Amino acid sequence: MSSRDAILASVRAHLPKQACPIATVPMFDNDSPTDLLTSFGDALKQMGGELLVSDPIDPDAPVRAKLMDAKIVCSRVPEIEGNMYIGAETSPADLAGVDYGIVRAAFAVAETGSVCLTEAELGVNTLGYLPQHLIVLLDPDDIVPNIHHAYRRAEFSRANYAVFQSGPSATADIEGVLIHGAQGVRSLSVLILKRPKLAGDQQLS
């Protein structure tokens, strides 16, 4: 028996015999904000992100204004058209030349100003990091109060990959100068926009 096998056998032999139930963790709802959207926007701004509020008449106008000078736009949402598309043949490195990536958040966290993105939203995970700028669409109904609620979301049991992004990439390690885009996107903007209704959805009366 190797030393490794001997150590593992000893560990298994001395495992606790009594079943230990998982501790119940509270949701910490006592301090939950009453206005999740406002709290999310404030936290996002503190992290260097920008909150865009859609116009009822022209919902996509804030995004189109940002895309005016963009050459390569990779959109993963039906609301906004891009000129680069992710397919089965797309490799992670292919996203390096993208000016703007556009995705929809699975949900967001008011406490931290974070948006949650999984492989379902990104298509290729590097879409969240390699573009110069990232625009995220967010349904206000998809904002949860805090991280404790976030970890209860079904996305974590379904997804192979999930990430919380809170603002653009930033570092201040070198001479205390804040630099955006050092290890990821240079800007992160969140557009508040309801999810499109799926075919067959009916308006509740």
- Confidence at residue 178, expressed as pLDDT on a 0 to 100 scale: 78
Tally of CB atoms within 10 A around 111: 20
What is the rounded (10 degree) CA torsion for 22, 27, 30, 35? 180
**Which 3 state secondary structure label does DSSP give 125?**
helix
Specify the higher pLDDT residue, 202 or 165: 165
At a CB cut-off of 8 Å and minimum separation 6, what does 55 contact?
61, 62
**Which 3 state secondary structure label does DSSP give 44?**
helix
The CATH number of residue 48's host domain is 3.40.50.10420
Q: Is residue 182 part of a domain?
A: yes
Q: Is residue 188 part of a domain?
A: yes
- Confidence at residue 31, expressed as pLDDT on a 0 to 100 scale: 82
Bridge partners (DSSP) of residue 144 are 109
Model pLDDT for residues 67-100, shown as the tens digit of each residue:
999 999 999 999 999 999 999 999 999 999 999 9
Q: Is residue 176 part of a domain?
A: yes
Q: Tell me the two tokens of residue 151.
A: 């970890």
Number of H helices, E strands in the chain: 6, 11
Bridge partners (DSSP) of residue 73 are 100
Q: Is residue 65 part of a domain?
A: yes
In percent, the amount of the chain with pLDDT more than 90 equals: 73
- Contact status, residue 76 vs residue 102, Cβ threshold 8 Å: yes
Q: Is residue 112 part of a domain?
A: yes
Number of domains within the chain? 1
Q: Is residue 72 part of a domain?
A: yes
- Whole domain around residue 76: which residue ranges? 33-192
- Confidence at residue 199, expressed as pLDDT on a 0 to 100 scale: 59
Q: Is residue 105 part of a domain?
A: yes
At a CB cut-off of 8 Å and minimum separation 6, what does 194 contact?
139, 140, 141
Identity of the residue numbered 185: V
pLDDT confidence band for 205 (50 / 70 / 90):
very low
Q: How many residues does the chain have?
A: 205
Q: Is residue 21 part of a domain?
A: no
Answer yes or no: is pLDDT of 38 > 80: yes
Closest CA to 121 of 158, 94, 146, 89: 158
